[in-house]
Each structure stands twice: as C-alpha cells, then as structure tokens.
Amino acid sequence: MRQDTFSTFHPVNNFLYFVLVIGCSMFLMHPVFLGLSCLGGMAYYIYLKHWKALKTALWLMLPVFLISAAVNPLFNHQGITLILYLKNGNPLTLESILYGLAAGVMLVSVLNWFSCYQVVMTSDKFIYLFGKAIPAVSLILSMVLRFVPRFKNQIEKISDSQKCIGRDVTNGNVLARAKHGMKILSVMTTWALENSVETADSMKSRGYGLRGRNNFSIYRFDTRDKLFLGILLLLGGNIFAGILTKRVHFLYYPMLRMNTNTLWAMLVYVCYGILCFLPIIIDVTEDIKWHYMKSKI
C-alpha cells in the first residue's frame, strides 16, 4: 500500500465517510449516482492497491457484474417496453435489462468501497471507535487480535515438532492423521490455558482492575479533521436535500423516468461527485504539494 493521506484522518472521519458513501451507493439507484460512485470507488481502490486492484476487478468484480446483469431480466418481467418473449412465454423488457445493469454496477461499486474500507479502517481504528462506547470490549478485542496469531503460530510450531517424530497431520494414513490432529488440538487448549495464567499475572501486576481505567489512543481530532467533517456534512446534507425534495429521482418500472436537469439537480450531482472522489482528491492534492515542495528544494 502506498502512503495514503485519507487514512491519516481521524478514525471517526474515516468511518463516517465510508458509512455515507457505502449507504448512498447501496440505496441510490440513480444512474448518474451509480456511475460516479463506481468510478470513485474504483479509482480509490486502484490508488491504494495499484495493479493488484485490476486483478480483483477481473476475477471478482467482472463476474459479479455479469451475473447480476444477466439474472435480473431472466427473472424479472416488469416494464412496458417489450423486446421479445422468452421460450417459457415470459416477456423480456428493456427496463429489466437496464435495472440488471444498474444493479450490477451497484454491487461492483459497493464491493469496491468495502475493499477500500478494509484497507483504511485497520483493526486499531475500529477498536478505538467502538472501545469508546464500551471500554472493556476494546481491550478484549485487542487481546483477541493478539491471541489469534499467537495461537496459529504455536500450532505451526507444534506441528513441526510432531513432524520430527513422525506424528504430524501429514504423517501416516488418514486415521493416523486425524488422530495426530486431534492430539495437537487438545494440547493447544492446555497451552492456551497455561499461558493465560501468566498473562493474568502480568495484567494484575500492572494494576488491571483498579478503579478509573482510562483508554489511551494515539489519535487526535485536529483542525484538518474538523474541516473534513464540515465538508462531509455539507455534501451529505445537500445530497439528502436533493433526494428528499425529489429534485433528483429516477424510476425503472414501469417505465424509465428521470428528473429534469435543473440547476439544483446539477448541484446535487456535483456534490455527489465530490463525495465519491473525496479521498482521491485529498491524496492527489497531497501528492502535488509534495512534488511542488520537492522541486523547490
């Protein structure tokens, strides 16, 4: 992953942004919105992951899009613009084909945004956000995240050792393998319990359980974050106002109908476009700033 400026914003901002953009992408089936969201998500994912993003696009996104586009017209027969009758007598309509395509784009963009979410919202950010509400949960989550890789590591070690005496899951026939596997798992339980005693000692000794525990975090909500939150609220408010007042709307069934292109509608489109490309805009401005500074030095 390259240095991504958007990730350095406060976790609250990161999280709110993803909630807003994924929510909009899921529920707004307006083709302009869909297009913007899809492009924005894809651009950001490519920015984060480079050519690896193309690989996922090819292997995951394309099939999802094709299946969704193909399935809808086969099973949904609403709409008035008839193209032809299928073999079983059901009609194939223009509206259902278009809706299928739209749903495909929607799925792809949501998938894209979730992939970005996974990269940006690391476990410690997540813990920080939800730990504020319930402090004990954040510590437990953090301990679990510590425990799982350790457990996996120890299984590997034990498995290697058992291999040395010919008693690993890869040695012997099927029955013997299963038996070896069970033995390893059972000893892992002992191991986990045994070690947790010392962990508990270490926690107690460092005063866990005293009254008034405070959660420390390395995040600070600075001016930049306030500005970002302001912009986010402004854009979100504008978009919702546009939708609620029906200045922007789109109908697929029974026939395609779209809002007229008033100045208002244009403004909402622009807002949505900025929203979807916000991380990219931030990242690229930062890159340009750096480039400029470097050339000055």
Partner 1 sequence: MALYEIKNLNFTYPDTERPAIQNLNFSIEPGEFVVICGKSGCGKTTLLRHFKTVLSPYGKREGEILFEGEKLEEVSVRRQSAQIGYVLQSPDNQIVTDKVWHELAFGVENLGYDQQTIRLRVAEMASFFGIQNWFDKNVEELSGGQKQLLNLASVMAMQPKVLVLDEPTSQLDPIAAGEFLSTIRKINLDLGVTVILIEHRLEEVFPMADQVLVLEEGKQIYFDTPRMVGKDLADNDLFLAMPSPVQIYNGTGQEGVCPLTVCEGRNWLEQHYGSCKNMQHRECFRHRKQERDYVVEAKEVWFRYEKDGRDIVKDLSLQVPKGELFCILGGNGTGKSTTLSLLSGIHRPYRGKILLKGKEIRKIRDKELFHRFLGVLPQNPQTLFVGNTVEEDLWEMFSERSPIRRKEDREKIEKVVGDTQIGHLLHMHPYDLSGGEQQRAALAKVLLLEPEILLLDEPTKGLDGFYKSRLAEIFQKLKEQGITIVMVSHDIEFCAAYGDTCAMFFDGGIVTACAAKEFFTGNSFYTTAANRMARQIFPDAVTVKDVIEACQRSRQPE
Q: Which residues lie near partner 1 (CB under 8 A)? A: 123-124, 139, 142-143, 145-146, 149-150, 153-154, 157-158, 160-167, 171-172, 176, 183-184, 186-187, 190-191, 194-195, 198-199, 201-218
The CA-CA-CA angle for residues 260, 108, 242, to 5°, reads 30
The residue among 3 and 262 lying less far from partner 1, judged by its C-beta, is 3
The residue among 50 and 150 lying less far from partner 1, judged by its C-beta, is 150
Of residues 215, 285, 278, 287, the one with CA closest to residue 13: 278
Residue 207, Ramachandran bin (φ over 0: left; ψ between -120 and 50: alpha; else beta): left
Min dist CB 45 to partner 1, Å, is 23
Contact between residue 130 and residue 140 where contact means Cβ atoms under 8 Å apart: no
Distances (CA, A) of 54 to 49, 51, 57, 111, 222: 9, 5, 5, 13, 35
Min dist CB 229 to partner 1, Å, is 20
The residue among 78 and 122 lying less far from partner 1, judged by its C-beta, is 122
The residue among 146 and 257 lying less far from partner 1, judged by its C-beta, is 146
Residue 94 corresponds to which tokens in the numbers above? 């223009």
Min dist CB 184 to partner 1, Å, is 7
Min dist CB 64 to partner 1, Å, is 32
The residue among 85 and 221 lying less far from partner 1, judged by its C-beta, is 221
The residue among 70 and 134 lying less far from partner 1, judged by its C-beta, is 134
CA distance 54 to 145: 30
Min dist CB 175 to partner 1, Å, is 11
Min dist CB 214 to partner 1, Å, is 5
The contacts found for 233-237 with CB under 8 angstroms, 24 or more apart, are 235/271, 235/272, 235/274, 235/275, 235/278, 236/20, 236/275
Of residues 174, 180, 178, the one with CA closest to residue 159: 180
